[in-house]
């Protein structure tokens, strides 16, 4: 397949990613471990077929662009500004700490000052793909913790844009004493900084003034054509076109350009549809990102310099995370937020590779240091899901700690460890599992009618909303046995399951049916397969969204034939 390297790289990457991800699942490892292994297999450091690393990197870049575009769709300028007081000083402070630690490691190893500086800077910036995937998997994107993490990423992104522009100049200045280069004046560096910041500011202003109006208008015009293919193409064209234009015209990274394109498109009422159209392509290309990282990995460095790799890994997982943890706590944020931010930043990725690569090209960094960084990056990416699992296990303790701080508010029952679990004393009540858009409508309606309602919800922001409305709540995942036991299902009148995940909602229905065979259980489903699964688990009634929509439309038609007027609420 030498005559079709693009096809060969794409096919080999996706096929092997699937094979190794399936094997990782069998071994109870995170899927990204399989993706990384697929990259190692087709990389230049293992025998056999070698994929085109340059093409793989470009394909991976498409995945990162689409990922940041998707984040932008659900992230408004207001959200970004709301976390600026913690994201800006936090990101810069954490980057400074990690850079100094990297420089100290370089000094201990006898590296030149410039190499230690670039190495430390590369250790300081987190991977966009890894962080956002973790946030999405743990449903944190719409929480304050998620907004802080994304804002933190944006600041790091901007700092890296500036670093990549200035690296050749700074490197020359740093290396002038040992390499005979001409030292640059402070004025020249300041001028370069000002020019770069000016271009970024011009891009942001253009997006806020022109893009905020133009992008939603284009989407609306295309939607009026009624062509789903054309709409999908328009979304991709805007995402990739703005990202490419931002990089080419303003020197902004692809990721930052795509993020702002998503933010501007998020102003449109069609933002949710745009998200759905890009999701499959985004996930496929995101897999190629991890494959491309695996291709860069030279496993020999782990055997020849294990202690150096371990030291770099500790800077990423402990040093950088502890700095972020301390900064978030000092800012007055809760312990849960500090732990989440620290855990999400305990890895490095794409910008680290780009920065260290530029350092190698500029003769500032040795190939040996690049291999050490790549090894530390892959190990940190593999460890990150495990750290999030530890954070999940700490959730009951965090819940109990926050309950003590609030003085055990009477309106809220906290799901704490089983030995001190508080069971609801309500009876003939309706239990609502999940307080998203559907659960909120149901819960508030029942509460307004004076009916006894108990909501099962684990997101802190939603719990605060429930507390404001005076609705009794058990804080915890509805699929947990202890949470369902605390809901006192044996004396409940009904259970309404609004959790969108079919597997999780099926588990809730199954446990509830065992707890009370006479309990009325109503559940939501988004597909026929989910509907059948929930019925099999014991639900009395499963509401399929598409079926209810069709029923409402038919009622409108019947009412029209009878000469009646039906309001939208009646449907």
DSSP assignment of 246-305 equals HHHHH---HHHHHHHHHHHHTTSTTHHHHHHHHHHHHHHHHHHHHHHHHHH--THHHHH-
If we measure between CA atoms, which residue out of 479, 472, 477, 467 comes closest to residue 504? 479
Contact by Cβ (8 Å): 130, 381:
yes
Strand partners, 31: none
Q: What are the residues whose beta carbons fall under 8 Å from the beta carbon of 547, sequence distance 6 or more? A: none
Q: What tokens appear for 43 in the block?
A: 């990389």
Torsion sign over Cα 40, 256, 339, 401: negative
Q: What are the residues whose beta carbons fall under 8 Å from the beta carbon of 384, sequence distance 6 or more? A: 130, 134, 343, 344, 346, 347
Q: pTM score, two decimals?
A: 0.64
Ramachandran region of residue 409, left (φ > 0), alpha (ψ -120 to 50) or beta?
beta
d(CA 124, CA 93): 10
d(CA 99, CA 109): 15
Question: Can you say how many angstroms the Cα of residue 162 is from the centroid of all Cα atoms in its chain?
Answer: 24
- Per-residue model confidence (pLDDT) at position 522: 92
What's the residue count for the chain?
571
Q: What tokens appear for 419 in the block?
A: 């030995």
d(CA 203, CA 186): 26
Sheet of 472-475: strand order equals: 412-414, 472-475, 453-457, 430-433, 494-497, 520-525, 541-544
- Per-residue model confidence (pLDDT) at position 569: 45
DSSP characters over 361-380: HTTSS-HHHHHHHHHHHHHH
- Per-residue model confidence (pLDDT) at position 414: 45
DSSP characters over 149-165: HHHHHHHHHHHHHHHHH
Tens-digit pLDDT string for the chain (571 aa): 556 788 888 888 889 989 998 998 888 777 878 888 888 888 888 887 888 777 877 877 787 788 778 777 766 777 777 788 888 899 999 999 999 999 999 999 999 888 898 999 999 988 877 887 788 777 777 677 888 888 898 888 778 877 777 776 665 555 544 444 444 556 666 777 777 778 888 888 898 888 888 888 988 888 888 888 888 898 889 888 988 888 888 877 787 788 888 888 887 777 777 777 777 777 777 788 788 888 878 888 888 889 999 999 999 999 999 999 999 999 888 888 899 999 999 988 777 887 888 788 778 888 888 889 988 988 898 898 889 888 888 877 877 776 666 554 444 444 444 434 467 778 889 999 988 888 888 888 888 888 889 998 887 778 878 877 788 888 877 877 778 888 888 889 999 998 877 778 888 888 888 888 889 999 988 777 778 888 888 889 988 877 777 777 777 777 766 555 544 443 3
DSSP characters over 70-122: HHHHT--HHHHHHTHHHHHHHHHHHHHHHHHHHHHHHHHTT--HHHHHHHHHH
d(CA 566, CA 568): 7
- Per-residue model confidence (pLDDT) at position 403: 65
d(CA 493, CA 519): 6
- Per-residue model confidence (pLDDT) at position 108: 92
- Per-residue model confidence (pLDDT) at position 430: 92
Cα R_g (the chain), whole angstroms: 26
If we measure between CA atoms, which residue out of 240, 242, 345, 353 comes closest to residue 293? 353
Long-range contacts of 141-146 (CB under 8 A, 24+ apart): 141/71, 141/74, 142/74, 142/461, 143/459, 143/460, 143/461, 144/83, 144/337, 144/460, 144/461, 145/336, 145/337, 145/340, 145/341
d(CA 484, CA 482): 5
N-terminal to C-terminal alpha carbon distance within the chain: 57
């Amino acid at each position: 397949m030498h005559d079709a390297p693009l096809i060969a790289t794409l096919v080999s990457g996706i096929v092997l990613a699937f094979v190794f991800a399936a094997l990782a699942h069998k071994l109870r490892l995170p899927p990204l471990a399989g993706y990384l292994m697929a990259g190692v297999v087709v990389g230049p450091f293992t025998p056999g077929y070698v994929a085109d690393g340059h093409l793989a990197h470009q394909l991976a870049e498409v995945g990162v662009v689409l990922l940041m575009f998707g984040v932008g769709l659900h992230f408004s300028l207001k959200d970004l500004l709301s976390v600026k007081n913690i994201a800006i000083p936090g990101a810069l402070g954490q980057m400074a700490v990690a850079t100094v630690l990297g420089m100290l490691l370089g000094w201990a190893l006898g590296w030149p000052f410039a190499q230690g500086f670039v190495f430390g800077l590369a250790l300081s910036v987190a991977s966009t793909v890894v962080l956002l995937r973790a946030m999405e998997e743990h449903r944190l994107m719409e929480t304050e913790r998620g907004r802080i993490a994304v804002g933190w990423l944006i600041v790091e992104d901007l700092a890296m844009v500036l670093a990549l522009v200035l690296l050749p100049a700074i490197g020359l200045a740093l290396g002038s004493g040992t390499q005979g280069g001409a030292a640059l004046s402070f004025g020249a560096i300041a001028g370069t900084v000002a020019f770069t910041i000016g271009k970024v500011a011009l891009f942001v202003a253009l997006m806020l003034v022109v893009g905020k109006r133009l992008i939603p208008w284009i989407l609306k015009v295309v939607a009026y054509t009624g062509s789903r293919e054309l709409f999908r193409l328009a979304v991709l064209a805007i995402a990739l076109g703005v990202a490419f234009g931002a990089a080419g015209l303003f020197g902004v990274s692809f990721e930052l350009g795509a993020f702002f394109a998503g933010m501007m498109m998020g102003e449109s009422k069609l933002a949710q549809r745009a998200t759905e159209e890009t999701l499959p392509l985004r996930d496929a290309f995101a897999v190629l990102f991890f494959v491309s990282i695996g291709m860069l990995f030279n496993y020999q460095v782990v055997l020849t310099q294990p202690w150096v790799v371990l030291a770099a890994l500790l800077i990423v997982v402990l040093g950088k995370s502890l700095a972020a943890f301390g900064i978030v706590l000092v800012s007055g944020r809760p312990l849960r937020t500090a732990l989440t931010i620290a855990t999400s930043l305990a890895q490095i990725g794409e910008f680290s590779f780009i920065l260290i690569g530029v350092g190698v090209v500029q003769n500032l960094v040795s190939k040996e240091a690049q291999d050490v960084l790549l090894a530390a990056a892959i190990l940190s990416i593999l460890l990150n899901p495990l750290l999030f699992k530890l954070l999940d296990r700490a959730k009951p303790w965090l819940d109990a700690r926050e309950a003590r701080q609030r003085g055990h508010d009477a309106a809220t029952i906290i799901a704490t460890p089983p030995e001190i679990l508080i069971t609801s004393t309500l009876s003939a009540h309706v239990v609502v599992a999940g307080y998203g858009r559907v659960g909120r409508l149901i819960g508030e309606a029942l509460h307004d009618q004076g009916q006894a309602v108990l909501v099962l919800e684990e997101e802190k922001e939603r719990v605060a909303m429930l507390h404001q409305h005076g609705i009794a709540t058990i804080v915890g995942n509805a699929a947990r046995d202890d949470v369902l036991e605390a809901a006192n299902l044996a004396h409940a009148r009904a259970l309404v399951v609004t959790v969108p995940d079919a597997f999780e909602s099926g588990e809730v229905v199954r446990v509830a049916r065992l707890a009370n065979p006479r309990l009325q259980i109503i559940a939501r489903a988004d597909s026929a397969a989910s509907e059948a699964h929930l019925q099999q688990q014991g639900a009395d009634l499963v509401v399929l969204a598409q079926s209810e929509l069709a029923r409402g439309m038919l009622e409108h038609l019947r009412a029209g034939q009878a000469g009646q007027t039906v309001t939208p609420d009646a449907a």
